[in-house]
Amino acid sequence: MHEGGCTVGAALVTPRNSVRTIVKARELGVLKKSQNRQTRSHRVFYGFVGCAVLCVLVLVGMYGCASRTVQPTPTAVVDVSPSPTADIFKVARDVLRLKKDDATLGRRSKKKPQFIESHVIELLQGHPELLKKPLPQLVAELDRREVRPDPTKHVRLVPPMGQPGYDDLRVYFSHPLIETGATRPADNLVSAWRDFLLQAKHEIVLNVFDFDLLEIADVLVDKAKAGISVRVGIDKNMISERTEVKRVFDRLVSGGVLVVQVDSMRLNHQKVAAIDWSQTTNARALFSSGNLTQSCLGPEGDLKDVPAVHRPKESIPNANHVITMKSWLAANLINHELSKTFDQSLGLRGASYPMTGAYQITGPGVPPETFEAYPEPSFVITFTPGGGYRDVGKNILARVIEKSSGPIRMIQFAYSAPAVAEALLAKATNAYRTRGIFDFYSVGDTPFALQGWSQFLKMSGYRRLKKNGATQFVIDEKSPWVTALRSEQIQDLRSRVRIAPFPYGDKQVKVGGESRKVNSKVHHKILAAGEYVVMGTSFNFSKGAEANNEQILVFHSRELASKVDGAIKHLLSADPPSVAAEAERRNQFHDAASDLKDDLDDAGP
């Protein structure tokens, strides 16, 4: 990402492998440049040699054209065919398996450099000849190379010749959007998942925190019975704690699906899937902010059993989104990450996952050999635990804010990350000082936005405390927001920090004379800063998420930034209260039920 000559990074800038790829291309003869003037006799000699070589190449090309299409190699890029790149991920896992008891997975030792997985993949991509080395020799070679974390660089993955890194990107929202003054209706996110999985012809892999949708389970079982390899990860605790998830688990297992009960150190919180990564033309990837549950994705909300004509308007799905794309690189990367998690022999949990930086995948129309650090369209992706050099908040999310320009929009389920708050405060202070206004709006899920750890509460200048067993919200005179901004500026900012609109939240409704409980959440994890967008992400902006199994994506895409603007316009169209106004309302109209829920939620995300 370039801005005014600056580069943006955590893994958001300088593509690490580009220069090395060009060097390698020169070694392989892809790039030619005469550096010494030749004598006339030398030119004649080389002319004869060149003609001879050309004749041989023509004969070879005529021989081979019946079996494959010969395509010109773009300037300054090494042709990475499907099998070597797939081998890179497999070899990286083999290296990890050999080094799983090595202390360098967690830290640098005096004798060996720290193992950083993205650097290994970069090295293997730039030097494919290393793939032929016996594994012990390869590991010894890696141990001789000093590598240090550099959050200003990412590793650009190179797609198969003639293909973009990704294409056919589609975005689905569980609620309407307001675009160019018109309202775009909500999408059915269950259908988005189902249609994605139905396209699979060879293999499926997915990992989710929660899973109670039997109709999706049936699709996976049908695919397994058709001979397709299907692997599914579900958080182990969800299987034991929720009978609905146990029912899905049993149906999958009895239907021939390989199901892994992922025993994460904290939460197995990913919502990600890939299909057909062994096929360059059919490989696809899916990223979701919501779990495979009725409450997260089902358009009917919690009361699916109630006929539509009698269903209360409060029964809606959580505010979520799904992104799908055609991408052989993304599908292989997802398979690699989930294979690490599912492989019991690796025993990866928490800090035992290797440190890694992040990867970049370029979009349609962008040559992968471009020297532009963050071309449009493209996206940077990493996974936790371990990704973003073990600090996604500081090394990725905060840097997006720091180096971007333009409006900032946030739609967050749980937001407590200090590094993100510090970056926003610096942005706000500068904007009010230089332009007199901070172009910012946010919508947070109401219960979490009012917690003591909530950065939305803190940027509103409040803190939460207990008095005589009751929750109260008071102005925090020592808040960095209060001390950095003038009174009129903090008042303006408070008006821009909103809670969820009606009908999100906990509700009691009447159905046929019976009282029923419904719940819906603002469950997005979205940030748009100028034309850079965090979407398709399971990662709540919190310190605790660093230890979870998560996926994090940052797109450079004005089109996606426009989608985020349309989403927040819809949520703001109902004019929800600000966090500050809701805090004052709770001070005035206090009730024990809210206190109890606050106490349960206050452990932090």
- For the stretch 524-580, pLDDT in tens is 999 999 999 999 999 999 999 999 999 999 999 999 999 999 999 999 999 999 999
Per-residue pLDDT, averaged over 328-340, amounts to: 98
21 pLDDT higher than 90: no
Q: Which of 207, 210, 204, 279 is nearest to 238 (CA)?
A: 210
Q: How far apart are CA 253 and CA 503, in angstroms?
A: 37
Question: CA 572 from chain center: how many Å?
Answer: 25
What pLDDT, on the 0 to 100 scale, is given for residue 467?
Answer: 84
pLDDT tens track for 395-446: 999 999 999 999 999 999 999 999 999 999 999 999 999 999 999 999 999 9
391 pLDDT higher than 70: yes
pLDDT tens track for 39-64: 444 444 444 444 443 443 333 333 33
Per-residue pLDDT, averaged over 209-221, amounts to: 98
pTM of the entire predicted model: 0.86
Q: How far apart are CA 236 and CA 246, in angstroms?
A: 10
Radius of gyration of the chain (CA): 26
Encode 377-390: b = buried (16+ Cβ within 10 Å), e = exposed: bbbbbbbbbbbbbb
Share of the chain above pLDDT 90, in %: 75
Using CA atoms in the order 364, 365, 370, 374, what is the torsion angle rounded to 10 degrees?
-50
What pLDDT, on the 0 to 100 scale, is given for residue 73?
Answer: 30
DSSP 500: P
Q: How far apart are the first and last CA of the chain?
A: 30
Give the helix/strand (H/E) hosting 92.
helix 82-98
Do 85 and 158 touch, CB atoms closer than 8 A? yes
What pLDDT, on the 0 to 100 scale, is given for residue 415?
Answer: 98
What pLDDT, on the 0 to 100 scale, is given for residue 102?
Answer: 65
DSSP for 318-386 reads -B-EEEEEE-HHHHHHHHHHHHHHH-TTT---GGGSPB---EEEE-TT--TT---SS-SSEEEEEEETT
Q: What mean pLDDT, rounded, does the chain reach?
A: 86
Stronger pLDDT, 98 or 279, i.e. the higher one: 279
Question: CA 144 from chain center: how many Å?
Answer: 32
464 pLDDT higher than 90: yes
What pLDDT, on the 0 to 100 scale, is given for residue 99?
Answer: 83
Q: How far apart are CA 106 and CA 88, in angstroms?
A: 22
Q: How far apart are CA 90 and CA 508, in angstroms?
A: 51
Give the helix/strand (H/E) hosting 480.
helix 480-484
What pLDDT, on the 0 to 100 scale, is given for residue 98?
Answer: 86
DSSP for 101-138 reads T-GGGTS--SSSPPPBHHHHHHHHHH-GGGGGS-HHHH
Task: Say whether 523 sits in a helix, a strand or coil.
Answer: coil
DSSP for 29-84 reads TSS----SPPPHHHHHHHHHHHHHHHHHHHHHHHHHTTTS---PPPTT-----HHH
What pLDDT, on the 0 to 100 scale, is given for residue 30?
Answer: 32
Task: Say whether 602 sits in a helix, a strand or coil.
Answer: coil
pLDDT tens track for 83-129: 466 689 999 999 998 887 664 555 545 556 678 999 999 999 999 99
Q: Which of 383, 16, 336, 324 is nearest to 168 (CA)?
A: 324
pLDDT category, 319, cuts 50, 70, 90?
A: very high
Tokens of 332: 């292989």
Close Cβ partners of 250 (under 8 Å, ≥ 6 residues apart)? none
Residue 191: CB atoms within 10 A of its CB come to 14
- Would you mind telling me the total number of residues written for the chain in this entry? 605
